Structure 1
Amino acid sequence: MKKKLLGLAIVASSLSFAQDKTESTASALRFGLKAGLNLSSINADGFKGKAGIYGGIFANIPVGSSVSVQPEVLYNNAGAKVEDMSDVKLNLDYISVPIMIQYNIMPELYLEAGPQFSVAINKEVKTDAGSADVKDLFRNFDFGVGLGAGYYFTNNIGITARYTAGLIDISHNNPNEFIRSQVFQVGLACKF
């Protein structure tokens, strides 16, 4: 009987602590905007990196005193340049949904890691003379893993950096090459 009472007391205290913790962290839920510069490339022969932009919204959800989950919805202008032709660009535009687990080293500095799911909204080769659709050459979906860091100068404004490595073949009907994307992002974040 004493063991049962002790067990119930431990469970009750754990639940009340969890409820207090949930209430205090739920009130710290923050939403925000982020935008910046993409430096992207693909690992195919004859291509090099190109600059693009990204931007979107996020929610920062604390799950502990130093850990939070940050789902995002971003527009990503990725792709690559053709190596010997600086005016020829492969534009791969995505709607990306990264889900980052963030660990605060200090209140204003964090490290993050997590998966990123992306759906293509535009696939084209662009030159000075015009553009051509290459939707049959690339898949509509990309999946990668991101690693990054961020620093908030104030409670609301910070800088972010992230590298996302693609893990799946984004080429379509190309059995000779396993083409992956890679993107380095740097930008600003603003929490509300």
Structure 2
Amino acid sequence: MNTKRLFGRLAAATLLFSAFSLSAEAQVQTHRVPAYSGRPQARPVYSTRSTSPALTPKIGIRAGVNVSDWSGDAVQSVMDVASFANGAVTKEMKPGFHVGMYATLPISAGFAIEPGISYSEKGAKLVGTVPFPALDFLNARVTATSRMAYIDVPVLAKAYLTPGFYIYAGPQASFLVSNKARVEAGALGFSAYKHDFDVKNQFRTVDFGVVGGLGYQFDSGFGLSAGYDYGLSSLDKNNRFDAQNRVIKASLNYSF
């Protein structure tokens, strides 16, 4: 065979094979997206968290001072009789304290229910002096104090008027723990007589009332409040006299 003709045929076959291969590769090659050469941009992230504040229940502790008294027909009768003694018998507010805990249960952003329990000192105080001006130098005094201790169980409704500032009100049941009548007598600054009489069995064991007040709760968890307890039940178990508890309270609290 002629050598030139042989090389010509081989060259033609090679060109045909190359053309077929390029055509097949073009058919199976996937489409490629050209690379982006600009500044990279952050993809937006969509959060599923609600933008409304969380309504989280809290517990707390509360303590403060009480200033208590009795009110009612019996107390008024005592003061009417005392007026005939030219001020020899006077009624004074009795100091005390309270301490306890509570739970704040939010219902909405501006309203909550707050049940609690606390130990609270209440009572009343009468002070008698010698009704003779010539003997004023003796400073003779006789004091009778009802020293009552209760377990208070209030259920309060709290309404927030502004962030932190609230008013509250609700019913309260008070369970009598102890009640002692203390009688003291003295003169010239010296105590001549002091004795406690247990009179718990002469008073009702449960006192129902309503409470109300206002307060401010700081973001730190601390808070301040002031309120008033208005007793509805007559204190005497045998209905011999009519008197009800009245208590002014100032408190410091902390919510966890």
Task: State the TM-score bracket (shorter-chain normalisation).
Answer: 0.7 to 0.9
Report deviation, 1:86: 6.2
Structure-1 residue corresponding to 2:179: 123
Q: Which structure's CA Rg is the greater one?
A: 2
Partner of 2:158: 102
Q: Is the 8 A contact 2:127 2:143 kept in 1?
A: no
Pairs within 5 Å for 1:17-28: 24-25=54-55, 28=56
Tell me if structure 2 keeps the 8 A contact 1:169–1:179: yes
- Cα 1:36–1:86, aligned 2, differ >3 Å: closer, same or farther? farther
Give the structure 1 partner of residue 202 of structure 2: 137
Query: Are 1:181 and 2:245 an aligned pair?
Result: yes
SS in 2 for 1:155: coil
Match of 1:17 in 2: none
Other structure's SS at 1:136 match: helix
Query: Comparing 154-163 with 66-75, which one deviates more in the overlay?
Result: 154-163
Give the alignment's Cα RMSD to 1 decimal.
1.8
More helix by share: 2
* Counterpart among 60, 78, 95 of residue 32 in structure 1: 60
TM-score, normalisation: structure 2: 0.62
Matched, 1:74 2:130: no
- Matched residue, 2:35: none
1:86–1:62: structure 2 CA closer, same or farther, 3 Å change rule? farther
Deviation at 1:168, TM superposition (A): 1.2
Question: Deviation at 1:63?
Answer: 0.6
Matched residues in 2 for 1:33 and 1:127: separation? 34
* TM-score normalised according to structure 1 size: 0.82
1:24 deviation in Å?
3.8
Contact 1:42 1:48 in 2 (8 A): no
2: CA distance, partners of 1:118 / 1:98: 8
CA distance, structure 1, for counterparts of residue 170 and residue 220 of structure 2: 23
- Matches of 2:176 and 2:158 in 1, distance apart? 26
Measured after TM superposition, the shift of residue 48 of structure 1 is: 3.2
Indicate the larger mover: 137-146 or 77-86.
Answer: 77-86
**Which residue of structure 1 lines up, in the alignment, with residue 109 of structure 2?**
65
Gap runs ≥5 in structure 2: 1-49, 80-90, 129-140, 185-193
C-alpha distance in structure 2 between counterparts of 1:86 and 1:112, whole Å:
39
Instruction: Tell me how far apart the structure 1 counterparts of residues 96 and 168 of structure 2 sit (CA, whole Å).
Output: 22
Q: Distance in 1 between matches of 2:147 and 2:164?
A: 35
